[in-house]
Structure formats: structure tokens, C-alpha cells
Amino acid sequence: MAVGIFDSGLGGLTVLDAVSKRLPDIPFVYFGDNAHTPYGVRDADDVYDLTTTGVAHLFDAGCDLVILACNTASAAALRRMQEQWVPEDKRVLGVFVPLIEALTERQWGDNSPPREVAVKHVALFATPATVRSRAFQRELAFRAIGVDVEAQPCGGVVDAIEDGDMILAEALVRSHVEALKRRMPTPEAAVLGCTHYPIMEEVFQDALGPDVTVYSQASLVADSLADYLDRHPDKLGAGAEARFLTTGDPKSVANKATQFLRRKIEFDPI
């Protein structure tokens, strides 16, 4: 009954932590493509090839449902995967939609026409690849009209977090927020469009100010997954044990993951 969680590196652990707490009886298989992180500087074809390879490993591990806990993969590869690659008996879901549903106050599966919403000015912080894809704006347009989105590509933040250099990560976050606010001085909401960024959520909030509502993905994805599995219990795969898989060095990745989750994690190599 395993569910797969895919990420380019360690950021997806923020989603894993939330979904594990929300659904404690389900074994999750985590795949981190640490050998190729970060995805945010890669082109769309490269992201697609790496993502399909990783998701195939999760299918082999007994997961019929995989969550792309990577905004770059969700933005650059998900639609193509769903249209061309995912087998009929499998499902691959992204992390954008739960966040946009929360932002626009729409229930899951609400397919009514897009309408005006309360929030008019949204700051999006994401990797360069996610910003280039405009996937967030595309998904938002299906649900809302009249929303001004200012996107800031946050180069270097993922690398700093993966390297454990939180001083550099904080400096980069503050620099990126300052750059965005020069173009959008008074955003009403800010979207952290990378699953690494919740680790720096307090820094984003402090730099943006108390009047800006910051939307982070982990808890929203957890609630959305619980709802999905209530309606599609057949998508619980045959896998029976929680596992952590990586394309990187298992010992090094495990040490960093243990710091992320503050509990001992062991990774198996791919």
C-alpha cells in the first residue's frame, strides 16, 4: 500500500514529513535524485528524462501513486508525463494544484469557470526552471482571473540548502525578496514554489513583512493526498515498507536528511 514521493534532492522531505504525519499508516517510498540536483537550472527535456527515470524506480518499488514533491518537475515534466508516459494503472500528481486551490479558496475538483478571488497581487518564489515554465500562472488561470503574479527566480537557494549553508541561504532569500519587492512593492500573498523553501519560511516571512500571507506546500499537499486516497483507495500500491532511495552517496545523503527531519534516516542506493 506504498505511495511514492519523488524529489530532485532533499526538499521533498518537507512534504514527506507532512504526509507521514497526516497518514501515519501508509508506508512512503522516498526517491531523491541527489546525483543530479538541482533541477532548477536544467532544461525541460533534461528534467523530463530524469523525472521519468526516478518515477519508474518508484513504480518498481510497489508504488501505484507518486507525488512529484519537486516544483521544477511538476512544472516542466508532469503534463507531458501524464499525456505520454504514465501507465493507465498508475498516477503521478504534482504539488502546484493544492497550493493554488488554497490561494483561490476553491475545493478540490471544483471545475467551475475561473472567477475573481480576494488576493490580487501574488509573489512567486521558485527555481529558474519553474519560473521559465510559467506553469504556476497557467494553473492559476484555470481557477482565477484578475490576479497579478510577479515571479522571482531564486538562483542558488536550493544549492545552499542542499549544502547545509543556511547563512548563505538566508542571505540569498533576503536578496531575492528585495529584488521582487522592487517590482511588486506590496504583495498580498507569497507562494514558496519549491519544496526546499519551507526550511527558510521564517526568513521569507520576515523579509516580506507581517502583512504578507506566505503559502508553503507541505501541509497543503498532505491534506490533498489524504482527500485523494479517500476517493481513490485503489491507488495504494503493493509496496509494504517505507524506504528511502537515492542516486547520490547514501551515507552523505542520509546525514543531511537526518539533519532535515531531526530523526535518523538511512538511504539505499539506486
The CA distances from residue 220 to 86, 139, 198, in Å, are 24, 16, 12
- Annotated active-site residue 154? The verdict is no
Of the candidates 18, 172, 194, 253, the residue annotated as catalytic is 194
- Annotated active-site residue 63? The verdict is no
C-alpha–C-alpha distance, residues 199 and 188, integer Å? 21
The CA distances from residue 175 to 53, 145, 253, in Å, are 35, 30, 28
Of the candidates 19, 70, 173, 225, the residue annotated as catalytic is 70
Smallest CA-to-CA distance from 158 within 18, 55, 10, 16 is with 10
Q: Give all strands (DSSP E) within the chain, no chain letters.
A: 3-7, 28-32, 65-68, 91-93, 115-116, 121-126, 144-145, 148-153, 189-193, 213-215, 243-246, 268-269
Question: So which residues are the catalytic ones?
Answer: 70, 194
